[in-house]
Amino acid sequence: MADADALSGFVVVEPAPAKINLALAVTGRREDGYHLLDSLVTFTAFGDRIGLAPAAEDRFTLSGRFCGALSAEADNLVTRARDRLRAALAPTGQAAPPVHIHLEKNLPIASGIGGGSADAAATLRGLISLWKAELPADGLDALALGLGADVPMCLASRPLRARGVGEAITPVALPALPIVLANPLVGISTPAVFQALASRRNPPLALAGAAGWAEALARLRNDLEPPARRLCPEIAAISESLAATGAGLVRMSGSGATCFALYDTDAAAETAAAALSRRHPHWFFTATSTLEAQGKGADDGAY
């Protein structure tokens, strides 16, 4: 759980919500090897957090359950986001003074829920607020995309449909969904999963015509799940455990290995996560809720 003390005293505290690919179609491949996707994405109340404060010189510190897997010295997406934003602001003459950035790492590493990308996006949002910086929206989107294909959607951190390599974003309306995230604590390589795909040209997501979001989601899929299951047998095991709790839908997010299960109520999600944690103490489970967005999506309908 979040450590309340780790971020006290920071001037800006920015949430870095976990990204959930509710469905993901791999529809093609670009010449540079990146895959074209069509994904229905939402975010959860559970995630990492970034703290920012002015400092005499740049500092980067870490805390949280999964911070051990990251080195404070290593090149990482948080410090890269800081450096790229500073470089982008330099020609405009805007100040980008030294900053202490603290990352509270609550999300498992390399787990298909956008951890590093969410951290980079939260760093950009937080620094823009701390430095009172102004960048044109297209400049910020390009900067985000340069950090990783999932960073633009994490910058938005709201329900959306992402196409292209993930950068072509349209908002969608989705309710708050009680959800359990489950990870076997086995990291999985995203490029390896893409490489193991049997087909790179699959149909896009068919979102129209369903009676509601639950029916639409049930008909959809994650094209990365079959190759990820071949590379990581724990995904089948953890999915079976989730299904046995009476969840409405069980699926893998991104390139795995995190799987998610949707429930009708927060209480049902919490009961399931508690029972699963007791039964499988070496796996990671957490009950949370997706972030809702109301109103009609730009062109993709509301559920």
Instruction: List residues binding ligand C5P (CB under 6 A).
Output: 34-35, 37, 148-150, 165-166, 190-191, 194
Q: Please state the closest distance from residue 239 (CB atom) to ligand C5P, in A.
A: 22
Taking the CA atoms of residue 170, residue 175, residue 177 and residue 183 in that order, the dihedral angle to the nearest 10 degrees is 10
- Asked whether the beta carbons of 268 and 258 are under 8 A apart, the reply is no
- 209 Ramachandran zone, left/alpha/beta (phi>0; psi -120 to 50): left
> Which own/partner contact pairs does 2-8 have at CB distance under 8 Å and 24+ positions apart?
2/49, 2/64, 2/104, 2/106, 3/63, 3/64, 3/104, 6/51, 6/63, 6/64, 6/102, 6/104, 7/49, 7/51, 7/102, 7/104
Nearest to 27 by CA among 225, 226, 230, 223: 223
Residues classed as catalytic? 19, 150
Residue 162 or 242 having the CB closest to ligand C5P:
162
Angle, in degrees to the nearest 10, between helices 137-147 and 77-89: 150
**What residue type is assigned to position 14 of the chain?**
E
- The neighbouring-strand residues paired with 50 are 14, 103
H or E element, residue 117: helix 115-130
Question: Which residues define the annotated binding site?
Answer: 108-118
**Minimal distance in Å, beta carbon 287 to ligand C5P?**
27
User: Closest distance between ligand C5P and the C-beta of residue 33, in Å?
Assistant: 6
Would you say 200 or 219 has its CB closer to ligand C5P?
A: 200
CB of 195 to ligand C5P, least distance (A): 8
| Closer residue to ligand C5P (CB): 191 or 209 | 191
245 vs 255, beta carbon nearer ligand C5P: 255
Alpha helices per DSSP H over 161-282:
190-195, 213-219, 225-231, 234-243, 266-279
Q: What separation in angstroms does the CA of 229 have from each of 232, 282, 291?
A: 5, 19, 28
Q: Using alpha carbons only, give the angle 26, 30, 36 rounded to the nearest 5 degrees.
A: 25
CB of 158 to ligand C5P, least distance (A): 20
**CB nearer ligand C5P, residue 87 or residue 192:** 192
